[in-house]
Amino acid sequence: MKQEIIRLSQRYVTALGEHLEQGPRGSFLPALRLGRRAVALGLETLDLARIHEQAVTALELASKRDGFIGRAQIFFTEAITPIEETHLAARKAETHLHQLTETLGRRTGELAAANGQLRRSVVRRKAVETALKKSGERYAKLLKDSLQLQEGLRQLTHQVLTAQENERHEISHELQDEIAQTLLGINVRLVSLKQESRSNTGRLKNEIANTQQLVAKSAQSVRQAARKFLNA
């Protein structure tokens, strides 16, 4: 590394001397090349300033006139340009890195907040799913109970209708029996009247009256049985 710096110093003396010999219109390209080489070697502005001072001393510019010192200073300014640009790029990179760090910090915070919100959403969703599951089980039980009640009501209705039908049949049989007995009694009376009409007129009247009463009683019984049948 030391040898490289020595060679750079020698090249600097040579390039500066040639530039001064070319006059005010001399090219500054060699100065830029020397500056790039200094950057490659990791030198800073102060290091190149020492090399420049050594070159000024070696060329004995202090004893010369014709503006050599000023032109040499301009040469040095051009030589340190790559170093300054490197510093500027480094500062820009540092600023950009700082901005990226701040952005990353914000994004990290936003991501943490989003993750927290996501976790809360997951917890709420699980709670809702649990509630829905419990509600579904409850509604399923209620539906089952409702179906059982409907089946019980259907069976009870069937039993009531069956009992009513049986009662109607019983009333119908009772009515038929009572009507049959009444008609049989009337028929017996009529036969008796037919036989007695030949011999006893007074008794015939009594039998007719009794038969009328029997018919009236039978009609009343039929009406009562009919009303009972209709109200059943």
Residue 199 has pLDDT above 80, yes or no: no
pLDDT per residue as tens digits for the range 3-46:
999 999 999 999 988 998 888 888 899 999 999 999 999 999 99
Distance CA 137, CA 125 (A): 18
Q: 207 with 196: CB under 8 angstroms?
A: yes
| pLDDT for position 77 | 95
Distance CA 18, CA 59 (A): 11
Mean pLDDT for the stretch of residues 124-133: 81
- Residue holding tokens 């790559």? 82
DSSP 41: T
Burial of residue 12 (number of CB atoms within 10 Å: 0-12, 13-18, 19+): buried
Residue 166 has pLDDT above 80, yes or no: no
| pLDDT range class, residue 229, cuts 50, 70, 90 | low
Predicted TM-score of the model (pTM): 0.42
The letter for the amino acid at 20 is L
| pLDDT for position 74 | 92
